[in-house]
Structure 1
Amino acid sequence: MSEEEVSSQTRQPRRWRLRRILLRTIIALLLLPPFLTLLYAVVPPVSTLMLSRYVQGLWVARDYVPLDQISPHLVRSVVASEDARFCQHGGIDWEALQSQITTFNEGGSARGASTITMQVAKNLFLWNDRSYVRKMMELPLALMIDAMLSKRRILEIYLNIAEWGEGVFGAEAAAQAWFGKPAADLSRTEAARLATALPNPLARNPARPRPGHDRLARINQRRATAIDPHLECLPGFGR
């Protein structure tokens, strides 16, 4: 047998080993989100942004609290601001998504149409940018999360991992940082200011809102008052 034939036979097992390693890695990556989602049904999760800050040795403030220990005003304000059809869709608001696609195709500026469940998917499993690749990855993850967790648990997770300032994560840490009180004691005005800070948490100060932020908060208060009929999946959080 020539040296060339021996070398070829040696390379083949190596290629198969690499392929097996690659296949196992892909399978592990595919199984990780459902495994973690099952775990997060009972264990307080951390977001990828929180993990990044921990790895870098940066300060993180987060005190996980059950949904019952978060002001109903904040629950209603966040749903009204971020995902008014939260109780009606299965993780993705297809009507809003189609509307944004149509707007984009007509030359307008698409706003994203992210549901609370999609934001949970992004915060738990993906990176934080505005790429279309990440947005497409959110869709199957959101459907999986909605199928595996209750609406109540999804909202509880969201309110405990949402960013509300530099190193400030979750409703309890936000309430303490901005208003010096527990999340359970937030007023309607405070809740509206926190909810409307979510799209730009590093630039909006809920304690001292600028005129534009204050205007959005007042609008949010009116919407939060009217959203009760759409909260059938969250009994106990109506007015």
Structure 2
Amino acid sequence: MTRVMLFLVKVLLGFIALSLLLVVLFRFVPVPVTATMILDPNGITKDWTPLSRIDRNMVAAAIAGEDGKFCSHNGFDREAIEKAIEKNARGGRIRGGSTISQQTAKNVFLWQGGGYFRKGLEAWFTLLIENIWGKRRIMEVYLNVAETGIGTYGVEAGAQRYYKHSAARLTPTEAARMAAALPLPKERSVISPGGFTRRYGNTIRARIGVVRRDGLDSCIYG
């Protein structure tokens, strides 16, 4: 039993050391590839772009559509998590309460899919990036690794695919439509969206002004 315990302790310490090393490394170095990209049968189209060259409308749209409390939480939105648990208990489509920080941790260091083990690892990496990266870096990485279309990753590649120009000059409508498709990029159309995606995009478009007015992006541009 002692040998088993010693082995488990070594594994745990090794994991902690490796995870810290990777988080520190990606604080300064662009994330080269993720598990989601590697496992994508549609290939990979991406173009890492510094946040300084991504239009502020895209940042506001991401906050408006994905995580309105991004600048005020510590990586976890407890209210959103509690609401998700309540909705899931009533049945129907499973909903998550993930913040942009949690999504970034999952996208960069882990794999897609659920399970308590993966969620536990996600929480660990979320704590690390919140304390080592900070909000601006988290947003920068998120907007570069998030899937924005079939085989397309990052908002620069998405902007080029959908609008034929750089993410440095996205209009509020363009940014809102990309943000509306983020949760299901393989299923939701960015160009000429219809139904729910169009309505949701319009809602995000309206919320962009609220993000600016109320300083909900102040941790990035403050």
Residue 21 of structure 1 and its aligned partner are, at CA, apart by 6.0
- When normalised by structure 2's length, the TM-score is 0.89
Counterpart Cα distance in 2 of 1:130 and 1:21: 27
2:127 to 138, 143, 164: 143
**1:194 aligns to what?**
178
Structure 1: gaps spanning 5 or more residues: 1-14
TM-score, structure 1 length as denominator? 0.83
Distance 1:109 1:205 in 2: 21
4+ runs deviating over 4 angstroms: 18-23, 105-110
The 10-residue stretch of structure 1 (222-231 or 80-89) with the greater mean CA deviation from structure 2: 222-231
> Which one of 29, 35, 39 corresponds to residue 48 of structure 1?
35
Give how far 1:117 is off: 0.4
Q: C-alpha separation between the residues in 2 aligned to 1:125 and 1:29?
A: 12
CA contact (8 A) 2:37 2:43 kept: no
1:170 aligns with one of 151, 154, 157: 154
Q: Distance in 1 between matches of 2:83 and 2:188?
A: 28
**1:184 maps to which residue?**
168
- Determine helix, strand or coil for the equivalent of 2:131: helix
CA 1:51 to 1:34, structure 2 compared with 1: closer, same or farther past 3 Å? farther
Give yes or no for the alignment of 1:217 onto 2:198. Answer: no
Question: Which residue of structure 2 lines up, in the alignment, with residue 231 of structure 1?
Answer: 217
Q: Which residue of 2 aligns with 1:3?
A: none
Aligned residues: 219
- 1:232 Cα deviation from its structure 2 partner: 1.6
Q: Percent identity?
A: 37
CA distance in structure 1 between the aligned counterparts of 2:17 and 2:173, rounded to whole angstroms: 42
Matched with 1:93 is 77
* Residues 109/212 of structure 1: CA separation in 2 closer, same or farther (3 Å cut): closer
Where does structure 2 lack aligned partners over 5 or more consecutive residues?
A: none
How much is the aligned-residue C-alpha RMSD, in angstroms? 2.3
Residues 9-49 of structure 1, C-alpha deviations (whole Å, 9 max, x = no match): xxxxxx95x87666544432232222111001110013221
Please give the per-residue CA displacement for 1:36-83, whole angstroms capped at 9, x wherever unaligned: 110011100132212334xx7x62111111111111111100111010
Change (3 A) 1:133 1:60: same
1:128 equivalenced with 2:112 (yes/no)? yes
Tell me the residue number matched to 1:39: 25
Instruction: State the match for 1:6 in structure 2.
Output: none
Asked if structure 2 preserves the Cα contact closer than 8 Å seen for 1:92 and 1:143, the reply is no
Once the two structures are superposed, residues 83-126 of structure 1 have per-residue CA deviations (whole angstroms, 9 ceiling, x without a partner) of 00000001111222123234444667652110000001111111
Q: What is the rounded CA distance, in whole Å, between the counterparts of 1:49 and 1:222 in structure 2? A: 31
- The structure with the largest alpha-carbon Rg is 1
> Which segment drifts farther, 135-144 or 201-210?
135-144
State which of 3, 13, 16 in structure 2 corresponds to 1:27: 13
For 2:218 and 2:159, how far apart are their aligned partners in 1? 26
Comparing 181-190 and 208-217, the one that deviates more: 208-217
